[in-house]
């Protein structure tokens, strides 16, 4: 049975570095429906930035491709799938190790997956060599107590 979501969005764009900021803003606008704190929104934007940058730099290298983002809102949780149809990851466990990078000449820190894991509540990576990679991340947004108090007072 397919999950029932409160809301869903799909976004596709060319794998250009300039589109990374666009992806961050689009996902932030979508996640804002859950009324996250500025810190929660910053965490989501940072994780999206890392995932999209990985698609552009590692998935497609110097070739043009399409980066896809599918976002779901379910109750108080944002679920994001960020994928490419690039070259894939040979060994996901090695790639997830802090400071591992396949592009040392680009002065990359090798912390992308570590950042995604630390800023989101969950992160999974699926990859098939020659077909691409999909990163699925989720974050629960804590209820805004101020809004809940207002709603409670209005219901009295």
Residues marked active site are found at 50, 54, 108
- Could you tell me where the DSSP H helices lie in 14-130? 19-31, 38-54, 92-95, 112-119
HSE of 21, CA atoms in CB hemisphere, 13 A: 1
Residues 6 or more apart whose Cβ sits within 8 Å of residue 111: 98, 99
Cβ–Cβ under 8 Å, residues 110 and 96: no
Cβ–Cβ under 8 Å, residues 19 and 67: yes
């Amino acid at each position: 049975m397919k999950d029932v979501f409160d809301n869903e969005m799909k976004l596709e764009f060319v794998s250009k570095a300039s589109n990374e900021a666009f992806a961050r803003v689009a996902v932030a606008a979508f996640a804002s429906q859950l009324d996250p704190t500025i810190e929660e929104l910053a965490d989501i934007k940072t994780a999206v930035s890392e995932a999209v940058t990985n698609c552009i730099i590692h998935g497609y290298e110097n070739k043009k491709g399409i980066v896809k983002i599918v976002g779901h809102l379910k109750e108080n949780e944002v679920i994001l799938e960020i994928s490419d149809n690039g070259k894939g990851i040979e060994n996901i466990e090695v790639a997830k190790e802090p400071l591992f990078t396949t592009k040392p000449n680009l002065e990359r820190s090798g912390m992308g997956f570590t950042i995604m894991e630390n800023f989101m509540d969950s992160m999974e990576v699926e990859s098939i060599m020659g077909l691409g990679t999909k990163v699925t991340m989720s974050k629960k947004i804590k209820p805004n107590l101020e809004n809940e108090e207002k709603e409670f007072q209005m219901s009295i």
